[in-house]
């Protein structure tokens, strides 16, 4: 933190960017930053994409990290924006020199607290996850908990989003259709799905009687629960305040359609896993699922934190219209 602040104090340029010793900056990154800021009125903060190399000794392929939708509450829970992906105009903000680790995460959270970044589809550089002598901290769990408590105090009560923000995009509906199809194939039967949201989901999400059985939660009494619990439970901010996780199967998912993972943490604190996905969706579960198994590669690219193989044919193979574009 002190070294970074020394650089910030000495900087005299109009734009600040960052480069760690485990990153290699792309030769066109600075050009992309300048063009984006100059062509977007009032833009003083951008976040780009990043190529992430596999862990040391891993024979896997590089992956792509790019948040296609910025969600500040999600950022306070998951450190999904690397420092080298960020560029901003100078300001008084400085790094916390007393933190033994995660100074970059703390800085980006405070940097984006009142100003959402412009997300630009440009490669900032390459991140080497297996670099030696990286900054670490022995008791990472305690430090993570302390930071998340700090961020919660910064956030205060989460504001209620307008109803228009609840709309599912075409990509969201496609992702949910893929989820239903793949998860049904895994269990070998139609999924037991509970809709505890204000509006019907089945009319907008691709499904067939072979892949899904829908139950609408419309009465004051809890719904009749299948023997092993529901495979998927759809919720939004109008959902009834009952113990929905208790109705979930062991490997089931709660799917939120209100677009903020922060709300899930408030409503269902007993779940161990939560992740923002798609443009306006989050999922939560009793334990972390294998996302690559239930979502195709083209959907994994949309995840706020998840990365996906650059060679995945479902991810990068362009359609005819995309080739023309």
What's the pLDDT tens digit per position in 251-301? 999 888 765 544 455 466 667 777 766 656 778 888 888 777 777 654 554
Which stretches of 40-83 are DSSP H helices?
72-77
Instruction: Compute the average pLDDT of residues 212-227.
Output: 81
CB 75 within 8 A of CB 108: yes
The per-residue pLDDT for 154 is 80
Determine the Cα angle at 239 with ends 233 and 245, to 5°: 45
Neighbouring C-beta atoms of residue 170, cutoff 10 Å: 9
Give dist(CA 265, CA 286) in Å, integer. 13
What confidence category does residue 54 fall into, taking pLDDT thresholds of 50, 70 and 90? confident
Counting Cα atoms < 13 Å in the Cβ hemisphere of 104 gives: 16
> What percent helix, strand, coil does the chain show, rounded to 5?
30, 20, 45
pTM for the complete prediction? 0.55
CA 40 to chain centre: 24
What would the pLDDT profile of 230-248 be if each residue is shown by its tens digit? 999 888 777 766 778 888 9
CB 18 within 8 Å of CB 83? yes
The sign of the torsion formed by the CA atoms of 245, 193, 249, 141 equals negative
* Residue that wins the pLDDT comparison between 39 and 292: 39
Instruction: Evaluate if residue 90 carries a pLDDT over 90.
Output: yes
**Furthest C-alpha separation in the chain:** 66
For the chain, percent of residues with pLDDT exceeding 90: 31
CA–CA gap between residue 324 and residue 145 (Å, rounded)? 48
Dig out the tokens for 110 from the structure: 């405070």
DSSP code, position 237: T
């Amino acid at each position: 933190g002190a070294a970074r602040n020394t650089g910030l104090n000495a900087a005299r340029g109009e734009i600040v960017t960052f480069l760690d010793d485990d990153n290699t900056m792309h030769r066109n990154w600075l050009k992309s930053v300048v063009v984006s800021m100059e062509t977007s009125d009032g833009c003083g903060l951008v976040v780009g994409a990043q190529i992430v190399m596999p862990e040391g000794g891993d024979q896997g392929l590089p992956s792509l990290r790019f948040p296609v939708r910025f969600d500040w509450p999600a950022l306070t829970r998951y450190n999904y924006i690397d420092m080298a992906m960020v560029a901003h105009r100078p300001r008084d903000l400085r790094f916390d020199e007393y933190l033994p680790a995660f100074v970059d995460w703390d800085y980006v959270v405070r940097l984006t607290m009142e100003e959402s970044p412009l997300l630009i589809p440009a490669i900032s550089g390459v991140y080497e996850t297996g670099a030696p002598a990286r900054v670490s901290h022995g008791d990472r769990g305690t430090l993570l908990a302390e930071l998340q408590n700090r961020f919660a105090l910064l956030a205060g009560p989460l504001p209620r989003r307008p109803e228009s923000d609840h709309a599912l995009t075409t990509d969201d509906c496609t992702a949910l259709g893929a989820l239903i199809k793949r998860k049904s194939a895994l269990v070998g039967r139609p999924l037991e799905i509970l809709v505890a949201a204000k509006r019907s989901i089945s009319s907008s999400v691709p499904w067939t009687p072979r892949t899904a059985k829908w139950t609408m939660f419309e009465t004051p009494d809890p719904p009749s629960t299948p023997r092993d619990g529901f495979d998927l439970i759809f919720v939004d901010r109008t959902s009834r305040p009952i113990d929905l996780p208790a109705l979930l199967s062991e490997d089931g998912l709660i799917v939120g359609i209100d677009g903020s993972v922060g709300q899930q943490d408030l409503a269902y604190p007993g779940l161990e896993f939560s992740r923002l996905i798609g443009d306006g969706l989050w999922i939560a579960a009793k334990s972390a699922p294998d996302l690559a198994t239930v979502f195709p590669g083209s959907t994994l690219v949309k995840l706020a934190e998840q990365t996906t193989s650059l060679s995945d044919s479902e991810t990068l193979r362009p359609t005819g219209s995309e080739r023309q574009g």
